[in-house]
Structures are given as structure tokens and as C-alpha cells.
Amino acid sequence: MSNSQTLTALVQWLAGEFDNRKQAFEQPAWFVHLRLWQRPLRQRIQGKLALFAEQANALYLNQPYRQRVVVFSENDDRLQAQYLALKHPNQFRGAGADTDLLNKLEASDLEPLLGCVLDITLQDNMFKARPLPESKCCFEYEGTTRQVVLGFDVGLNSFASYDRGVDPETGQALWGALMGPYEFSKCEDFAAELPE
């Protein structure tokens, strides 16, 4: 399989609506029941495939959060994912489930998140995405610098998120995958929405 075919397969596997119901019911003290949308953008970003991602507590599906756009590329025979922030995230709240709203998103609505790049490898029918060495993914939120450690594994119908917020000064984990990854199953496939 060529790199471009591998990249397309990666984005197809990631494109969907996911739920961690089983994990949340088995370990409710450690894992909130979440719904995750990773929906293809109708247009490419700088010629590259991209997904809009957001999640919501399953009890409050009308209050999604953590909106971001992930752009996929091949660099020097390596697959990478670059995370972008929305300049006005509230403007696109709910776009993971609402394609009419998502279709209003333009490249001008996005801004880069420095240090928020993952290297992706294919191992045993699973894509594994991990941060670049020595990189720090930081952003400003309510006047404070926040840091997130990103990472995921994706299979044909499964997605594991290692994302966790950390204190940028101490490195102490604050939220997210504190007791291991959030383990999602795909409940709806959006691969057919990928642009040609």
C-alpha cells in the first residue's frame, strides 16, 4: 500500500461517530460516558484531508466541547496529524452532528496550535499516533496557558484516545486519560463524506 493509500485508510478509519459506553459502564469511577464525532471537512485544508472533531458527555449531547480540526499529511514518507484551533469555537458548537453547520467552516476560521503534531505509524492493523519528541502542545484558554498531551490508536472500528491535560509547569496530569486511554467503538461511519 502506498503512503497516500495508507493516509486515506487512516482518515477513513478515523471518520465517524464514536462512543465509550462499555468502558464507562464497566469503570464509571474513572471514565465518563462520552460521544466523539470526527467528521470530514467538505474542503481540503491546504490541499490536505481534514477532520472536525468534538466530543460531548453522553448525558449532555447538546453541549459538545473540545472542538478542533485535525489535518493529515505525508512528510518525508511519514504520516502526520496537525491539530488546529477554531478562532471562534462557539460558532461551530455541534458541527460534529450537524453537517449544515460544519459546511460553513472555512480555512480562515482556523489557527495553528504550535507543537500539536503527531507522528503516525501503522503496526499490526492499528494506526498509532504519538507526539513528536520534545514537542509541547500548548494553547491559551481564559488567559492561562494550558498544555495537552495528545495521542491515539485507531483500528477499523475502534478508537483509543490518550489525550490528557497537564500542568505546563509541573507536568502533573489534570484531566482526560488519567487511568489509561478512553476506548471508543465506532457507531456511525462518516468515511463516505471524505472529499475526492
Q: Pairing mode, if any, of strands 158-161 and 164-166?
A: unpaired
Classify residue 74 by burial, with Cβ atoms within 10 Å: 0-12, 13-18, 19+.
middle
pLDDT of 114: 86
Q: Are 130 and 118 in contact (CB under 8 A)?
A: yes
Rounded average pLDDT per 10-residue block, the chain, 196 residues: 78 97 95 96 93 96 93 88 94 95 95 92 93 83 77 96 81 74 96 92
CATH number for the domain formed by residue range(s) 3-193: 2.40.128.590
pTM of the model: 0.91
